[in-house]
């Protein structure tokens, strides 16, 4: 009955963001049969979001680097790559990717897998963050740039790292008043990013572009500030903000309240490595790159034969890194399949982009003191409604590993599979902000799919 | 509705659906979550513990906070594209 739902390809690519598109386009150009599985509705991933056809293309300000994204989307669209949008990959083995699309259960069989799943926003719980109207920084950008929907009238943007800038500019170009834009890192700490910016012409142009946009919008980034809490009757109405110390600890005496109707919180990104872990790929903890990352060699090969990883899954680095690594992975596969050597420039470019990204992002490694924003009654696991007090009690009783906390209070056992609470759960529950998170347990199904999808999964 | 959309002519057809029994007008290509946000409805599910309202958090299919029931199926509001005549209800426990 479901036996027909099998697709065969030379290469299966997971994700149609910059890394996946770059890899797929290069592979198809070399004559390989490529199928790309992507959960979104259109190619581009989260960073190069496209409005639906026919939507008003009002002046959404875009930084210079997005021109590369548009060129890549066009080239990808014109290539022979088969893109399957709305495809949720829920199980994986080397050479096999099982996915659900339009409610049907599918299997992609391929010789090589390229993992380009991207990343998601790091969430740090604070009082009131479960109120409707508190969204991740990425969510607000998707709302404006992907759907042309205006998030609100008065916005607060909080967090840490370069992604606060596109969030502010997206809001401003949608006509939202950005009441405050708060970067938790101190100005001095952020100066450590300077060599990474100054040493790379494209990044410097990007930084200057954002500087001008913020000036035009009348938004001043406040360094060493963050949100202490959010309140409202059924949705966001007020936020308390204040200064933090060099480690991110709230200085409560500086608190003041502002009226806002939407809050965007972006405390950096977390690499999406679940599919890689399920495939058996080795990982390592790299805090400045966002947490646990897939380990790859100089040609993007993971520890599992036939499985490659590019972009954010190997550590947060941005679109330019992802595109360069995507091309490198493609070149490595083409060499295997066609015997064509890898052009020297491809590997050099990937290494150069990665080095520049590392130099920039080490200035924004997560601040441990921000875990003190949550209060005992603050919900830390949103799926299972577990408060900080319950998570702490579970850690005290069952032990401080990620697994013990999960078993003790169900935190991290809901459908998000700890993607939201996981990165901070251990630090929060154990009251030891310096604690790195245990390697998360990746399990089937990777995404909550219909039970029929699993029962009817094609074999092969 | 227009106040919560970017300005400019929208060439997309209107897609109407029902949310908790009330008619909502969306545009082709909207997700349920974005159509409801534009319609002034940010609360999409009730928390399992105290029934407190929850809405879109990640807007990219990761967090499952925007669960709604569409024609009897529980789905992520941020990933489900609107269809004419669909019956959308608030979700409960994720």
| Residue A171 touches chain B, beta carbons under 8 Å | no
Choosing from A338, A361, A384, the residue where a domain stops is A361
Domain end (from A216, A250, A267): A267
Render pLDDT for A144-201 as a digit per residue (tens, 0 to 9): 999 999 999 999 999 999 999 999 999 999 999 999 999 999 998 888 888 777 877 8
Is B35 part of a structural domain of the chain?
Answer: yes
* Residues A330, A318: Cα–Cα separation, whole Å: 18
Helix (H) or strand (E) segment spanning residue A294 = strand A291-294
Residue A262 main-chain phi, psi, to 5 deg: -150, 140
Which residue among B34, B43, B61 sits closest to A147, beta carbon to beta carbon? B34
Q: Do A39 and A128 reside in the same domain of the chain?
A: no
Cβ-in-10-Å burial (0-12, 13-18, 19+) of A115 comes to buried
Q: What is the CATH number of the domain that holds B60?
A: 3.10.20.440
The whole-number average pLDDT for the span B1-19 is: 85
Is residue A303 domain-resident?
yes
B6 closest CB neighbour out of A123, A174, A448: A174
Q: Structural domain tally of chain A?
A: 3
Q: Looking at residue A38, what is its pLDDT?
A: 98
Question: Which of these three, A248, A267, A286, is where a domain ends?
Answer: A267
How many residues are given for chain A?
460
Same domain, A405 and A332: no
Name the token pair of A56.
Answer: 């008003």
Residues A179 and A277 placed together within one structural domain of the fold: no
In a domain, A446, yes or no: no
The pLDDT, as a whole number, for residue A153 is: 97
Whether residue A50 sits in one domain with residue A74: yes
Lookup result for tokens 């066009």: A74
Q: 10 Å Cβ neighbour count for A95?
A: 16
- Of residues A330, A359, A364, A365, the one with CA closest to residue A347: A330
Model confidence over B65-84: pLDDT tens digits?
999 999 999 999 999 999 99
H or E, element range at A422: helix A422-430
- pLDDT on residue A61: 79
- Asked whether residue A369 is assigned to any structural domain, the reply reads no
Its ipTM equals 0.96
**Coil, strand or helix: which one is A323?**
helix
User: A211-255, pLDDT tens digit by residue?
Assistant: 999 999 999 999 999 999 999 999 999 999 999 999 999 999 999
User: Do A142 and A246 lie in a common domain?
Assistant: yes
Asked if A116 and A34 sit in the same domain, the reply is yes
Residue A397 lies in a domain: yes
Residue A2 has pLDDT above 70, yes or no: no
Please give the residue that has the higher pLDDT: either A3 or A50.
A50
CA atoms within 13 A on the CB side of A41: 20
CB contact under 8 A, A149 and B60: no
Angstrom distances, CA of residue A161 to CA of A184, A289, A435, A450: 9, 12, 21, 37
Burial of residue A169 (number of CB atoms within 10 Å: 0-12, 13-18, 19+): buried
Disruptive mutation site among A48, A415, A451 for chain B (greatest number of B CBs within 10 Å): A415
A439 in a structural domain: no
Q: Tell me what pLDDT residue A249 has.
A: 97
Average pLDDT of the residues in A256-278: 97
Which residues 46-85 in chain B show a CB within 8 A of chain A?
47-50, 52-65, 79, 81
Look up residue A343 and give its DSSP letter. Answer: P
B94: which chain A residues are within 8 Å (Cβ-Cβ)? 383, 414-416
Whether residue A313 is predicted with pLDDT greater than 60 in this model: the reply is yes
Q: Is A381 on the interface with B (CB under 8 A)?
A: no
Gap from A346 CA to chain B (nearest CA, Å): 31
pLDDT bin (cut points 50, 70, 90) of residue B2 is very low
| Mean pLDDT, residues A16-43 | 97
CB-nearest partner of A147 from B30, B44, B58: B30
Length of chain B: 94
- Residue A38 burial (CB < 10 Å; 0-12/13-18/19+)? buried
Answer whether residue A3 shows pLDDT above 70: no
C-alpha span between A347 and A334 (Å, rounded): 14
Q: What is the pLDDT of residue A16?
A: 98
Please report, rounded to a whole number, the percentage of residues in chain A having pLDDT higher than 70. 99
Give CA angle at A138 (B15, B63), nearest 5°: 75
- A261 and A147 share a domain? yes
**CB contact A377 to B (< 8 Å):** no
Can you tell me the mean pLDDT for A26-42?
96
- Count Cβ atoms below 10 Å from residue A102 Cβ, excluding itself: 9
DSSP 3-state of B90: strand
Smallest Cα distance from A369 to chain B, Å: 23
Q: Over the stretch B16-50, which tens digit does the pLDDT of each residue have?
A: 999 999 999 999 999 999 999 999 999 999 998 88
Residue A187 lies in a domain: yes
- The answer to whether position A452 is within a domain reads no
Domain housing B86? 13-90
Identify whether residues A99 and A167 lie together within a single domain: no
Residue A332 lies in a domain: yes
Whether residue A130 is found in the same domain as residue A252: yes
Residue A436 has pLDDT above 80, yes or no: no
Average pLDDT on A121-145 reads: 97
Structure tokens at A43: 């190619």
Number of domains in chain B: 1
A129 and A263 together in one domain: yes
Among candidate residues A24, A37, A41, A32, the one with its CA nearest the CA of residue A78: A24
Confidence band, pLDDT 50/70/90 cuts, at residue B3: low
Residues A257 and A134 in one domain: yes
The contacts of residue A151 (CB under 8 Å, 6+ apart) are: A135, A140, A143, A144, A171, A174, A176, A262, A264, B37
Query: For helices A201-217 and A164-173, what crossing angle results, to 10°?
Result: 40
A166 φ, ψ to 5°? -65, -25
Flag whether B5 is in a domain.
Answer: no
In this predicted structure, the answer to whether residue B1 has a pLDDT above a threshold of 60 is no
The DSSP symbol for A114 reads E
CATH of the domain at A297: 3.50.50.60
Residue A356 and residue A386 in one domain: no
- Which pLDDT tens digit goes with each residue over A68-78? 899 999 999 99
- Domain extent at residue A415: 374-430
What is the predicted pLDDT for the residue at A58? 64
């Amino acid at each position: 009955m479901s036996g027909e739902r099998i697709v065969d390809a030379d290469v299966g690519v997971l994700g149609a963001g910059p890394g996946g598109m770059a890899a797929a386009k290069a592979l198809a150009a070399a004559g390989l049969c490529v199928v790309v599985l992507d959960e979104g509705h259109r190619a581009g991933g989260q960073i190069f979001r496209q409005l639906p056809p026919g939507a008003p293309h009002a002046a959404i300000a875009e930084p210079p680097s997005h021109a590369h994204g548009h060129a890549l989307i066009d080239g990808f669209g014109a290539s022979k790559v088969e893109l399957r949008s709305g495809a949720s990959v829920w199980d994986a083995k080397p050479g096999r990717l099982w996915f659900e699309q339009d409610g049907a259960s599918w299997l992609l069989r391929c010789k090589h897998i390229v993992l380009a799943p991207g990343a998601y926003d790091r969430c740090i719980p604070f009082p009131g963050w479960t109120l409707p109207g508190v969204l991740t920084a990425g969510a607000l950008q998707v709302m404006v740039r992907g759907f042309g929907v205006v998030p609100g009238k008065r916005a607060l943007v909080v967090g840490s790292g370069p992604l606060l800038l596109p969030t502010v500019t997206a809001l401003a170009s949608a006509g939202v008043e950005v009441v405050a834009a708060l970067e938790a890192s101190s100005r001095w700490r952020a100066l450590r990013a300077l060599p990474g910016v100054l040493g790379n012409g494209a990044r410097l142009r990007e930084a200057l572009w954002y500087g001008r946009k913020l000036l035009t919008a009348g938004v001043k980034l406040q360094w060493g500030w963050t949100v202490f809490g959010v309140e409202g009757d059924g949705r966001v109405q007020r936020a308390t903000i204040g200064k933090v110390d060099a480690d991110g600890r709230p200085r409560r005496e500086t608190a003041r309240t502002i009226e806002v109707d939407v809050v965007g919180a972006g405390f950096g990104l977390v690499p999406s490595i679940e599919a890689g872990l399920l495939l058996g790929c080795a990982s390592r903890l790299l805090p400045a790159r966002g947490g646990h990352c897939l380990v790859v060699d100089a040609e993007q090969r993971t520890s599992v034969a036939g499985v490659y990883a590019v972009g954010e899954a190997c550590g947060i680095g941005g679109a330019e890194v992802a595109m360069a690594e995507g091309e490198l992975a493609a070149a490595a596969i083409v060499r295997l399949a066609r015997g064509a050597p890898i052009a020297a420039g491809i590997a050099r470019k990937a290494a150069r982009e990665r080095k520049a990204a590392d130099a920039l992002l080490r200035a924004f490694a997560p601040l441990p003191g921000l875990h003190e924003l949550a209060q005992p009654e603050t919900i830390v696991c949103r799926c299972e409604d577990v408060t900080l007090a319950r998570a702490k009690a579970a850690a005290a009783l069952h032990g401080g590993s990620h697994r013990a906390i999960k078993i003790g209070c169900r935190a991290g056992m809901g459908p998000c599979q700890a993607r939201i609470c996981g990165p901070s759960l251990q630090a929060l529950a154990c009251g030891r902000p310096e604690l790195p998170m245990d390697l998360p347990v990746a399990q089937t199904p990777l995404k909550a799919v219909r039970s029929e999808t699993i029962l009817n999964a094609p074999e092969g | 509705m227009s106040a919560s959309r970017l300005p400019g002519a929208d060439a997309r057809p209107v897609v109407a659906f029902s949310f908790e029994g009330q008619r909502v007008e969306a545009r082709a290509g909207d997700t349920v979550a974005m159509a409801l946000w534009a319609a002034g409805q940010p609360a999409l599910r009730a928390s399992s513990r105290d029934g407190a309202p929850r809405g879109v958090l990640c807007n990219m299919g990761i967090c499952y906070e925007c669960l709604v029931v569409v024609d009897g199926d529980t789905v992520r509001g941020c990933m489900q594209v609107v269809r004419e005549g669909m019956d959308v209800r608030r979700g409960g426990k994720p």
